[in-house]
Every structure is written in structure tokens, then in C-alpha cells.
């Protein structure tokens, strides 16, 4: 009798396990993009853009950018050509040899919410610190880049005429020992 009860229990257990196994398999066919938030899509788009930039894949870069990309630069002029070169697929005449090896490898990428920029920061050769604020349009293309070199950045959200809330701040590893000029990027609600 015990062996019959054990066999039934094992059969029930197997059926229960099969049901558990079937449930995740049923979800595999679901559209993964449907579960993504706008914030996640924007962050992944920026990560794909960095892959294309560092792979010097000009066609892939152009496919992710709006044709009328707005680009702002703040920092020492000698660093202005790094992104210009990789965005346009061209090369700069100034310091041509030095520029060819510059890569934008983000140390962190943070999406700040819907209709807000995706902030990436990293460090290049010789301790050059950079921050990029990418704005992704409703069509899924990057419409604006604000680029900061050797500048500490604080991003705040303006909630009312008198209230600002810090939503992001530069996280340089050498912050305690190396002082850089600072800027505030204000996002209006």
C-alpha cells in the first residue's frame, strides 16, 4: 500500500513539476520588448551605440542617431574632436595619431527616467574623464548629445520654481584628489 501511495505521490509530483516547467517555456515566446520599459530601451540603445562607436562601425552609429543630432561640448578644446571623429566616421587633422586610439568605454550608464537623458561616464587615456548625456527621441533615435570632458556634472530635476532635486552626480574615482570644474544640468519636468 505504501508503494502505491509513493507511486501516486511521485506521479503527482512529476505532473506538478511539468506544470512548473511548462510555465517558463510558455513565456519564452513572449515579446521581450513588450516587457522592457522606455528607460531600459533607452539605456540599451546607448549601450549599443557605444559598441558601434568603439567598433568604428559608422553605419551602425548612423542608424542609431537622428539625422539632425544636436551635439554640445564642454571641456578643453583639445578633446572636442574625439566624439566628432567617431560620430562622423572621419578623422581630425589635429593630433591624428593620438585620436585614433581614443575609445569611449563607459564605466557606468544610468537612465534617469522617461523623457530624460541617459548618462554615461568613463575615463579615457591619461586620466581624461568624460560624461555624456544622451537624449533619445520618441522614435528610438538619439536626438541630442551633451558631452563634458574633465568636468564634474550634477544633474538635477526642476520640480517647481523653487525646488531642485539631484538625480545624478559624477562618480570619478579620483574625486578626492583631483579637482575639476563643475556644471549643473537642469532637467525641467
Model confidence over 38-50: pLDDT tens digits?
899 999 999 999 9
CA atoms within a 13 Å half-sphere pointing along the CA-CB vector of 6: 3
Q: Which of 28-32, 142-146, 159-163 has the lowest mean pLDDT?
A: 28-32
**3 lies in some domain:** no
Residue 158 falls inside a structural domain: no
Residue 84 sits in a domain of what CATH number? Answer: 3.10.450.50
Does the model's pTM come out above 0.95? Answer: no
- Give percent above pLDDT 90 in the chain: 35
The number of folded domains in the chain is 1
Residue 161, domain member (yes or no): no
Decide if 2 is inside a domain: no
70 found inside a domain: yes
Query: What integer pLDDT is reported at residue 178 of this predicted model?
Result: 74
**What pLDDT, on the 0 to 100 scale, is given for residue 19?**
40
Residue 99's closest CA among 125, 127, 68, 131? Answer: 125
**What's the mean pLDDT in 68-92?**
83
Rounded Cα distance, 59 and 161, in Å:
43
Mean local confidence (pLDDT), 34-60:
91
Strand 164-169 vs strand 182-188: parallel, antiparallel, or unpaired? Answer: unpaired
**Distance from the Cα of residue 28 to its chain's centroid:** 26
What is the per-residue pLDDT for 100? 58
Residue 143 covered by a domain? yes
Residue 9 lies in a domain: no
Top mean pLDDT of 22-26, 70-74, 110-114, 179-183 is at 70-74
- 171 falls within a domain: no
Domain hosting residue 51, numbered range? 35-151
Amino acid at each position: 500500500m505504501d508503494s502505491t501511495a509513493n507511486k501516486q505521490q511521485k506521479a503527482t509530483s512529476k505532473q506538478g513539476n511539468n506544470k512548473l516547467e511548462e510555465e517558463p517555456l510558455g513565456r519564452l515566446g513572449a515579446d521581450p520588448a513588450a516587457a522592457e520599459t522606455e528607460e531600459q530601451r533607452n539605456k540599451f540603445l546607448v549601450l549599443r551605440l557605444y559598441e558601434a562607436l568603439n567598433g568604428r562601425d559608422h553605419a551602425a552609429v548612423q542608424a542609431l542617431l537622428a539625422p539632425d543630432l544636436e551635439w554640445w561640448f564642454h571641456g578643453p578644446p583639445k578633446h572636442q574632436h574625439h566624439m566628432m571623429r567617431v560620430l562622423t566616421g572621419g578623422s581630425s587633422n589635429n593630433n591624428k595619431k593620438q585620436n585614433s586610439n581614443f575609445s569611449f568605454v563607459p564605466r557606468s550608464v544610468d537612465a534617469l527616467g522617461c523623457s530624460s537623458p541617459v548618462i554615461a561616464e568613463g575615463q579615457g587615456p591619461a586620466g581624461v574623464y568624460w560624461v555624456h548625456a544622451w537624449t533619445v527621441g520618441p522614435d528610438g533615435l538619439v536626438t541630442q548629445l551633451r558631452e563634458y570632458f574633465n568636468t564634474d556634472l550634477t544633474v538635477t530635476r526642476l520640480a517647481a520654481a523653487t525646488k531642485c532635486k539631484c538625480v545624478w552626480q559624477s562618480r570619478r574615482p579620483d574625486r578626492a584628489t583631483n579637482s575639476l570644474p563643475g556644471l549643473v544640468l537642469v532637467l525641467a519636468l
